[in-house]
Amino acid sequence: MTVYFIGAGPGDPELITVKGQRLINQCPVIIYAGSLVPPAVLAGNTAERVINSAELHLEQIIDAMRQAHADGQDVARVHSGDPSLYGAIGEQIRHLRELGIDYQIIPGVTATAASAALLGCELTLPDVAQTVILTRYGDSSPMPAGEQLNDLARHGCTLAIHLGIRNLARIVAELVPHYGADCPVAVVHRATWPDQDWARGTLADIVEQVERKGFRRTALILVGHVLGDAPFADSALYRAGHAHLYRPGP
């Protein structure tokens, strides 16, 4: 018996992996993360029990897994996006290890990748930014030392800020000293869901734009000069004259 932590992807049901979908269709017990999981990925299941974890606390979720283990039933534990990012799977895994219950993680398409795809851009451009920091805004639960936005912004690289939409004005105020008011920003709301939408602007005007759109939840804030028209060089990878294992020189 195994608990499978499955990434359901950002919203579009076609963005789950083949393996994740197969396991959801096969497992006799499904525990899914409420409204964040696209209903269509659960549609073909033949499970005996389908449990919405949004209504449960951690101990109740672990109890459901323990019961499935006692019954010899595999569990599909379905999270949004990729389970390794803000999925709260670490605490579940800690319990499973203590209980001696096997688990596996099936990765998923994360909101950052889905948002970049929607915007049609690369988050790592030569000469502009070669690093992406995935972070969240520390409002309700604090951030570890050294991970305040102010610390991260010093790098000037691309930022993907989760769970921050309600604090957009504070985020902007913290970023302007590092990135400048004219730095491009995009706020992507419910990427790949049927009602997906986004706002693009600069740190100077993004708050006003997002207020106009009315985004309140499930939005990713992307910040960085890769989102604008900063000049960048072609990559070494495809440069003529750059030899490597698969394209040896003359």
> Among 24-32, 143-151, 187-195, 242-250, which window interacts with ligand SAM (CB under 6 A)?
187-195
Within 94-113, the residues that bind ligand SAM by CB under 6 A are: 110-111
* Shortest CB 21 distance to ligand SAM, Å: 17
Could you tell me if 61 and 53 are in contact, meaning their C-beta atoms sit under 8 angstroms apart?
yes
Of the candidate residues 69, 77, 190, 225, the single one contacting ligand SAM (CB under 6 A): 190
| Nearest residue to 27 (alpha-carbon basis) of 82, 65, 84 | 65
Beta-carbon contacts of residue 66 (< 8 Å; ≥ 6 apart): 99, 101
If one asks whether residue 123 binds ligand SAM (CB under 6 A), the answer comes out as no
Work out which of 31, 42, 89, 188 binds ligand SAM, going by CB under 6 A. Answer: 188
Within 18-77, which residues bind ligand SAM (CB under 6 A)?
A: none
* 126-165 positions binding ligand SAM, by CB under 6 A: 162-163
**Contact stretch for ligand SAM (CB under 6 A) within 57-65, 95-103, 139-147, 217-225:** 217-225
Long-range Cβ contact pairs of 93-100 (< 8 A, separation 24 or more) = 93/5, 95/58, 95/62, 95/65, 96/3, 96/62, 96/65, 99/62, 99/65, 99/66, 99/69
AA letter at 112: T
Q: Which residues bind ligand SAM (CB under 6 A)?
A: 10-11, 79-82, 85-87, 110-111, 114-115, 162-163, 188, 190-193, 218-220
